[in-house]
Amino acid sequence: MAPPLVDIGLNLAHDSFDHDRDHVVDAAVMAGVNHMVITGSTLASTRAAIELVRGAPQMFRATAGIHPHHAREFHAQDVPDLRRLLLAAEVGAAGECGLDYFRNFSPHEDQERVFRAQLELAVEVGKPVFLHQRDAHDAFLAIVRDYWPRLKGGVAHCFTGDARELDDYLALGLSIGITGWICDERRGQHLRDLVGRIPLDRLMLETDAPYLLPRDLEPKPKTRRNEPRYLPHILGTVAACRGEPAERIAAETTRNALAFFGFGA
């Protein structure tokens, strides 16, 4: 029997799931992924995520936030709407929020403005933060440090950084989310070397579906769409890299995620 797992980062409201969303969830449960956190990255996707949670509140939680790609679309008059969403019982964390200087779909000043606004709201509503950072480590860390003493906690979603970034996050107190990036022999080798340095009580697992399909899945799926049913594959890679039983990592990461996102609260 597969160990129970929590996928802490799943874009289940994505339109690629519109034709078979129930099947995707059923397949995940069959694979042992008993709880899932549905990512909100805009006001609209957050509302959709909350509606999905309402259909199965024992299984799902949502995050409520504005991804840095969409920061230019978020303005001061939108803050009350985001506050209302964050206060919903279905929402376990603020985000996905942070900085992305890799793609720069929004100007840096907009990204930093909206990131700070969301950290302020997270402090106000007393919920942890679900964080995104790419090619912006120093600016990101400086901003998070400003709010950290008042925050209820945070997780570095889809961590793909280097040893310095990991050390900085662990020193601050962040939890770390690991995706199928670790299964990529081209880009993820450094993660295989680093994952053993993450304290087990601060490790969580995620797919970021429909993105980041693990490259080493066998047999290869017919499409490039990632799904939460592949989370046990990521668990297996993490366990092998850490030299620890998969069952132990499953139990600890599940315990971490259930507490962090408020399942059962």
Helix (H) or strand (E) segment spanning residue 61: strand 60-64
Main-chain phi, psi angles of 245, to 5 degrees: -65, 135
Question: What is residue 8's predicted lDDT score, i.e. its pLDDT?
Answer: 98
| pLDDT of amino acid 212 | 96
What is the biggest distance separating any 2 CA atoms in the chain, rounded to whole angstroms? 50
- Phi, then psi, of 244 in degrees rounded to 5: -125, 155
Cβ–Cβ < 8 Å for 163, 213 = no
Alpha helices by DSSP H, the chain:
21-30, 43-55, 79-86, 108-125, 137-147, 163-172, 189-194, 231-242, 246-260
- One-letter amino acid of 63: T
Average pLDDT in the 1-8 region?
A: 84
Stretch (H or E) spanning 93: strand 91-100
Q: What is the DSSP string of 124-183?
A: HHT--EEEEEES-HHHHHHHHHHHGGGSS-EEETT----HHHHHHHHHHT-EEEE-GGGG
- Residue 1 has a pLDDT of 59
Report how far Cα 253 is from the mean position of its chain's Cα atoms.
13
Contact 39/67 with Cβ under 8 angstroms? no
Look at residues 264, 265, 232 and name the one whose alpha carbon lies nearest to residue 32: 232
pLDDT of residue 208: 98
- Which token pair is 90? 């279905």
Q: How many residues does the chain have?
A: 265
Average pLDDT taken over every residue of the chain: 96
The per-residue pLDDT for range 48-92, each reduced to its tens digit, is: 999 999 999 999 999 999 999 999 999 999 999 999 999 999 999
Write out pLDDT tens, residues 20-35.
999 999 999 999 999 9
Q: How far apart are CA 53 and CA 265, in angstroms?
A: 14
The token pair that represents 144 in the structure block: 């998070």
Q: Residue 21: which residues within 8 A CB-CB, separation 6 or more?
A: 12, 52
Range scoring the smallest mean pLDDT among 37-46, 71-80, 175-184, 256-265: 256-265
Q: Can you give the pLDDT at residue 264?
A: 74
Q: So what's the pLDDT on residue 185? A: 87
| Percent over 90 (pLDDT), the chain | 95
Encoding tokens for residue 137?
């480590």
Give the model's pLDDT for residue 152. 97
Strand, helix or coil at 23? helix
Q: CB–CB of 195/180 below 8 Å?
A: no
Q: Count of CB atoms within 10 A of residue 180's CB?
A: 26
Lowest mean pLDDT among 123-127, 218-222, 258-262: 218-222
The structure's pTM equals: 0.97
